[in-house]
């Protein structure tokens, strides 16, 4: 059974994950409008990953006998200066999500909820990967100054990305 504090923190995280999905869907739309369909696909995959994360938290709360309380999702940004701005925003957002996951882990330790500590370790590891992937792409975009043939080569690579749900633990 989850403590009230853990349940409350998980509900905040579920909302944050749905917001992340909403933000990445907005970025995907922006990129499509700017004829960067590969990057739009990349963000659409991010959207799918965030929905997967939200539902993983949702199912966990239910499995632990908790109550999921869905809150309003904040309206995401819809315009960016350019492709580099999009990925700088993405990197900052992923660092924010990492801090939220770390907070959840801290609360789990405080509450002596070792089942949650075990569950949350997957998200800690996932955030390392998320930040690294976004940072790598951001650095490549900066190398080509977000322009020219380098931009189109990166866009083509991003088009090949697919969502593969992680294997259940």
Nearest one of 161, 11, 16 to 76, comparing CA atoms: 16
- How confident is the model over 52-61, as a mean pLDDT? 98
How does pLDDT run across 96-135, given as a tens digit for each residue? Answer: 999 999 999 999 999 999 999 999 999 999 999 999 999 9
Phi-psi region of 153 (alpha: psi -120 to 50; beta: other; left: phi over 0): alpha
pLDDT the model gives residue 169: 52
At residue 17, does pLDDT exceed 90? Answer: yes
Phi, psi of 168 (to 5 degrees): -60, 145
d(CA 8, CA 4): 6
pLDDT the model gives residue 165: 87
pLDDT the model gives residue 167: 73
| 47-51: long-range contacts, CB 8 A cutoff, minimum separation 24 | 47/21, 48/21, 48/163, 49/163, 50/17, 50/18, 50/20, 50/21, 50/24, 51/17, 51/18, 51/21
How does pLDDT run across 131-162, given as a tens digit for each residue? Answer: 999 999 999 999 999 999 999 999 999 999 99
- How confident is the model over 33-41, as a mean pLDDT? 98
At residue 168, does pLDDT exceed 80? Answer: no
Nearest one of 18, 164, 1, 16 to 104, comparing CA atoms: 16
| Radius of gyration of the chain, Cα coordinates, nearest whole angstrom | 17
4-159 CATH, one of 1.20.1260.10, 3.20.20.450, 3.30.9.10, 3.30.930.10: 1.20.1260.10
Tokens of 135: 């940072």
State the pTM of this model.
0.95
Mean pLDDT, the chain, as a whole number? 97
Q: Where are the domains of the chain?
A: 4-159
- How confident is the model over 27-53, as a mean pLDDT? 98
């Amino acid at each position: 059974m989850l403590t009230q504090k853990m349940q409350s923190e998980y509900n905040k995280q579920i909302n944050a994950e749905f917001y992340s999905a909403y933000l990445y869907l907005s970025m995907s739309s922006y990129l499509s409008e700017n004829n960067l369909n590969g990057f739009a696909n990349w963000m659409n995959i991010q959207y799918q990953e965030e929905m997967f994360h939200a539902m993983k938290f949702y199912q966990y709360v239910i499995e632990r006998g908790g109550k999921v309380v869905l809150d309003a999702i904040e309206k995401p940004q819809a315009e960016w200066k350019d492709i580099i701005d999009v990925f700088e925003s993405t990197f900052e957002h992923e660092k924010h999500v990492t801090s939220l996951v770390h907070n959840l882990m801290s609360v789990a330790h405080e509450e002596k909820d070792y089942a949650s500590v075990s569950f949350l370790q997957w998200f800690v590891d996932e955030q390392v990967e998320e930040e690294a992937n976004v940072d790598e792409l951001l650095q490549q975009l900066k190398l080509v100054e977000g322009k020219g043939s380098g931009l189109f080569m990166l866009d083509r690579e991003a088009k090949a990305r697919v969502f593969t749900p992680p294997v259940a633990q």
